[in-house]
Amino acid sequence: MDTTTALRFDLFSSYEALLQKLVSFSAALRNDHALPLWVSRTEQELADQKDMRQKAIQLYQQLWY
């Protein structure tokens, strides 16, 4: 295996591990309401009483956010 291939494999493996950790983190947030979180909310979300915990989970799972 050449260096470039090894680096690509390492990057892919690290990304997969990160995704798995995000799944675990999201499950912890979903199941443990004592865990603190912060996410900004719009006036509309405030008026609609949107679930900010669910919004946070969705944002945390979107790696480009």
Q: Is residue 35 part of a domain?
A: yes
The three-state DSSP-derived secondary structure of 34-58 is: CCCCCCCCCHHHHHHCCCHHHHHHH
CA distance 54 to 60: 10
Q: Is residue 30 part of a domain?
A: yes
CA distance 28 to 51: 16
The pLDDT tens digits of the residues spanning 25-50 come to 899 989 988 888 888 889 999 899 99
Side chain identity at residue 56, one-letter code: A
For position 65, what pLDDT does the model report? 52
Q: Is residue 11 part of a domain?
A: no
Q: What pTM value is reported for the model? A: 0.68
Q: Is residue 4 part of a domain?
A: no
pLDDT averaged over every residue in the chain = 89
Closest CA to 60 of 36, 26, 27: 26
Q: How many structural domains compose the chain? A: 1
Q: Is residue 16 part of a domain?
A: no
Q: Is residue 39 part of a domain?
A: yes
User: What percent of the chain has pLDDT above 70?
Assistant: 97
Confidence of residue 64 (pLDDT cuts 50, 70, 90): low
Q: Is residue 49 part of a domain?
A: yes
